[in-house]
Amino acid sequence: MSKFAWVTLTTNDTYSLGALVLAHSLRRAGTAHQLAVLVTPSVSEAMRNKLKDVYNVVQEVNVLDSQDAANLALLSRPELGVTFTKLHCWRLVQFEKCVFLDADTLVLQNCDELFEREELSAAPDVSWPDCFNSGVFVFRPSVDTFGKITEFAVQHGSFDGGDQGLLNQYFADWATADIKKHLPFVYNVTAYASYCYLPAFKQFRDNIKILHFAGKLKPWLIQFNSETKSASTPSEYAHAHDLIQLWWNIFCDNVHERLT
Q: Which chain residues interact with ligand UDP by CB under 6 A?
A: 8-12, 15, 82, 102-104, 135, 214-215
Q: Judged by CB, which is closer to ligand UDP: 141, or 219?
A: 219
Q: How far is the CB of 225 from Mn ion (least distance, A)?
A: 25
- 23, 39, 99, 104: which one contacts Mn ion (CB under 5 A)? 104
Query: Shortest approach of ligand UDP to residue 86 CB, angstroms?
Result: 6
- Based on CB atoms, which residue is closest to ligand UDP, 31 or 105? 105
CB of 34 to ligand UDP, least distance (A): 18
Query: Rounded to the nearest whole angstrom, what is the least distance from the CB of residue 35 to ligand UDP in the complex?
Result: 14
- Specify the residue, 171 or 213, whose C-beta has the smaller distance to Mn ion: 213
* Partner from Mn ion, ligand UDP, none binding residue 8, C-beta < 5-8 Å depending on class: ligand UDP
Alpha-carbon torsion angle 76, 78, 80, 85, nearest 10: 110
Q: Which of 63, 73 has the CB closer to Mn ion?
A: 63
Q: Is 214 in the site for Mn ion (CB under 5 A)?
A: yes
Taking the complex as a whole, the smallest distance from the CB of residue 226 to Mn ion amounts, in Å, to: 26
> Which residue among 24, 97, 99, 102 contacts Mn ion (CB under 5 A)?
102
Q: Which does 15 bind (CB under 5 to 8 A by kind): ligand UDP, Mn ion, none?
A: ligand UDP
DSSP letter string, the chain:
--SEEEEEEESSHHHHHHHHHHHHHHHHTT--SEEEEEE-TTS-HHHHHHHHHH-SEEEE--SS-TTSHHHHHHTT-GGGHHHHHHHGGGG-TTSSEEEEE-TTEEE-S--GGGGGS-SSEEEEPSS-TTSEEEEEEEE---HHHHHHHHHHHHHH--TTSSHHHHHHHHTTTTTTS-GGGB--GGGSEETTTGGGGHHHHHHHGGG--EEE--SS--GGGS-EETTTTEE---GGGGGGHHHHHHHHHHIIIIIIHHH-
| Residues at the site binding Mn ion, with contacts judged by CB under 5 A | 102, 104, 135, 214
